[in-house]
Chain A
Amino acid sequence: MPWSAAIDQVIARGLFDRIPATFATYTYDRLREWDLLFPAEQGYFERLLSLLDRSGPAAVARVFSPLAAVEENMGVDRRSWNSNGFNLGHIDFLQRSPHYAEWRRVISAIFAEIDPLLEVELGRNGRPRLVIVTSPSELPAAPDRMWTRIAQRGKRIALNVPESLDVKKYLPTLLCGGECAATNGTSRPPYSMWHISAGGPFPPFHTGEVHLSYEDLTPYRDSLMAAVRNLLKEKQIAGPQQLSAELKNLKVVPPSGVAGTDALLTSFLRSVLLAGNGTLLINNTFAEWAAVQLIRRARPERLVVSFSVRNKLKPFSSLLIYSDQETSSPVETQMDTLGTHVDLEVFYQYIWQECEKYVEYRNNTAYLFVGEGMDEMLVIGPPDFPLLGMNAEPDLAAVHAAAKEWLGT
């Protein structure tokens, strides 16, 4: 079995036979891909199963009894929900059931009861975290029109930015204190430092930082799109679920660099790019969705999300979801700076909101929302985050220093 010995013992003691079939099957399905789970996910499942195992049959039955009742109403046949995994038939069955909404509600209620218990342990071992979200300089908005959905949760801080500063040096100074280069700082757990870029590559801030760049991934994205187009031509695909199943077996040359040599990263990247939304087509959607998935799955300690300007979509592009917009239409490519601004206002909120769902981030995360070239930024964070106590306007190097101090890097 791929999972840990502790989980093996819990399973051997028959836990999955004592909990409702849909919950057990889903959980088992996740465990089967143990090597493709981030450490944070593995830790979650270990804590979850350990808690259920030591809670005693009566307590477990009480938590799961509403789900057992809904499953009975749904007509769940335990024999078809087994350790072979969660399949398309299961998904179809659940989504088409008249009791689907109720099923979702009781599942949410179960996690609402269990997760706080699991979070206590994590909360005790909390570490400061940092999330930096940068916006491109081309946005047609002054600072007072930026971050409007979340501004009330933080403080706008004026920055001392020399007028002579080359805008190209703005982010390197803020993120790295000058020129960016991998440094051998304090060792950090694997997959704890990330930079997701909707534009081009950016030199790493720290040894071990995982960097995914939309532009860097162009050959891989093109390969995926071509493979999906071929798949759709060759097979009758009955819908997204069937497509998803086919995509699991899709053979595509992995991307270059670490994302292609690390099976977990390759798997993560595929899941982001083949999610069925606009991650293959729209640079900022890629960055936002990758960030949200990372937060949910890997819980990074330092996350930088760099947005870029989105191009205008071309006429009837909705027909060509797996086609390269640049080559499939002769219409000239144009930047959509205003549209990008509107898009990002929502994404700032979603990224902050996703973090705040998890105990690892609550009350110990500093969020810096930065507009490239701007002399103001939005800071959301605990009162002891150094920038929030400064009286003078910090320059970009001071922002970098404060971030380093906060993370202890």
Chain B
Amino acid sequence: MLRFSKRWFLRLAGLAIADRFQSGLFARPLPPARQPGHKVIIVTFGGGVRYEETFTDAGLRNIPRLAELQPNAHFFRNCQNSGVLSHYNSTASIVTGNWQRVDDFGFQRPASPTVFEAFRKGAGAKASDAWAICTNKSFPLIGSSGDPGAGANVLLPKQLLLDAVEEVIRKNPRQGVADRENVLRQLNGILAEGYEGVGWTVFQQSRQLDQEVRTTLTRGLAEFIHGPETPTSGDELTFFLTREVMREFAPRLLLVNFWDMDVAHWGSYSLYLQAITKTDRLCGMLWEEVQSNPQYKGKTTLLILPELGRDGDQNTSNGFLNHRSGDPSCRNAWILALGGGIQPGITERPVAHVDVAATAAEILGVKRGAITGRVLSEIL
């Protein structure tokens, strides 16, 4: 387990991304966007989920919200992950449009440009227009293949919370984490303390943005502490912070990485099923946010897909617990595409995880560049 310092986390989280790349440096003729200002949200229904627990007759009970949305969505029934079956490589493949074979645990940046970079560069978008909000704590480098200032803001909400809770426990062990007021005070204290170190100082040229980001985080965490839905997991916190980012910055390109269903590694099938249902609920809430937020309603494409499956029950060392066997149960997934202008339907032809970045670039009206995935033309 990594021990990220707050400052290091913030630096890696990319919250310090300068707007220095939004100048005309990369200005070039662009392919037309679907609509001016059209937005793309990519959601990894994540942590690894098998087809049989989702879009099958028996699995639909675990995903009531997605099942409810499917008739109005376009469903790609055969999405193949042909890459390395780790969370980081799979998700990096989704956002780069190329199969990634880098360090499995996030110690390397993606080896080819991300769609965030293509978008920032191609559309001349500012830093706050591209975000990756990730439950998986090993994703700090997923926002770009090179200069972090040219990619997405990467936010690791759970790491932020963990640091805060650890601080509370360390300073006042007898009171414990249930003392919410104390936790909130600590959280506010941590968020308010010096951001002027490496990375954060880049925001000196945009103090307003600095304040907004800070407000966003504080509010998100405060909702976590005091919210009526009493979130208890990293994915719920990720949802809350995603919603805050959407309301405050309305980014045009957003990766939301859910991950809690990876609890399956602990060997509890019921906890795994609960996590699937929770992720389903959060996807439903995210769609509701898209529908109720005027910045997003009618001009957003939401692409939901598992980054990988899990081992099948047969002929593997321990079935649903793992996801490295390479069997079809690990590789077969689906994509649910929702949003304005998408014709409902089902596509049977094989598509792939790397096609998501190509499709996002096309919708955003930027050149695909190094992306080798193919566009999902059915939803354009």
Contacts and interface: CB of A to CB of B under 8 A. Distances in A.
B267 A289 contact: yes
Contact of B270 (A288, A316, A338): A338
Interface string B41-56: 0000000000000000
A331 B84 contact: no
Interface residues of A, number: 51
A281 B266 contact: yes
Interface of A: 95-98, 100-101, 104-105, 232-233, 236-240, 276-279, 281-282, 284-285, 288-289, 292, 296, 310, 313, 315-316, 318-319, 321-322, 329-331, 336, 338-343, 345-346, 349-350, 353, 357
B246 to A, nearest CB: 23
Contacts of A313: 263, 268, 271
Contacts of A232: 1, 3
B204 to A, nearest CB: 30
Interface stretch (B16-24, B28-36, B316-324, B346-354): B316-324
21 contacts: A95-B84, A100-B84, A101-B326, A104-B325, A232-B3, A233-B3, A237-B1, A238-B103, A276-B265, A281-B266, A282-B266, A288-B267, A289-B267, A289-B318, A318-B233, A319-B234, A345-B269, A346-B269, A346-B313, A346-B319, A350-B319
Contacts of B1: 232, 237, 321-322
Given A285-B268, A338-B270, A240 B177 contact: no
Sort chain B's interface into a size bin: 35 or more
A349 B269 contact: no
Contacts of B103: 238-239
- Determine chain B's interface SS by DSSP, over half rule: loop
B178 A240 contact: no
A349 B313 contact: yes
A339 B260 contact: no
Contacts of A236: 2-3
A315 B232 contact: yes
Contacts of A331: 178
B77 interface: no
B367 interface: no
A338 B273 CA distance: 13
10 interchain residue pairs of minimum CB distance: A278-B266, A285-B267, A239-B105, A339-B270, A342-B270, A315-B232, A330-B176, A346-B269, A96-B101, A278-B267
A345 B269 CA distance: 9
Contacts of A282: 266-268
B313 A350 contact: yes
Contacts of B263: 313, 318
Contact of A330 (B101, B177, B234): B177
B178 to A, nearest CB: 5
B233 to A, nearest CB: 7
B93 to A, nearest CB: 12
Given A104-B326, A277-B265, A331-B178, A353 B270 contact: no
A98 B326 CA distance: 12
Contacts of A97: 101
B270 A336 contact: yes
Nearest to B230: A315
A87 to B, nearest CB: 16
A278 B265 contact: yes
Nearest to A320: B162
Contacts of A240: 105
Contacts of A296: 317
Contact of B101 (A98, A237, A289, A339): A98
A27 to B, nearest CB: 19
Contact of B2 (A95, A237, A292): A237
A350 to B, nearest CB: 6
Contacts of B270: 336, 338-343
* Best-buried of B162, B313, B317, B318 by chain A (most CB within 10 Å): B318
Contacts of B74: none
Contacts of A345: 269
Given A95-B324, A233-B3, A318-B233, 9 more contacts: A236-B3, A238-B103, A240-B105, A277-B267, A315-B233, A318-B260, A319-B162, A329-B177, A330-B178
A274 to B, nearest CB: 13
* Best-buried of A240, A285, A321 by chain B (most CB within 10 Å): A285
B26 interface: no
A101 B268 CA distance: 27
Nearest to A231: B1
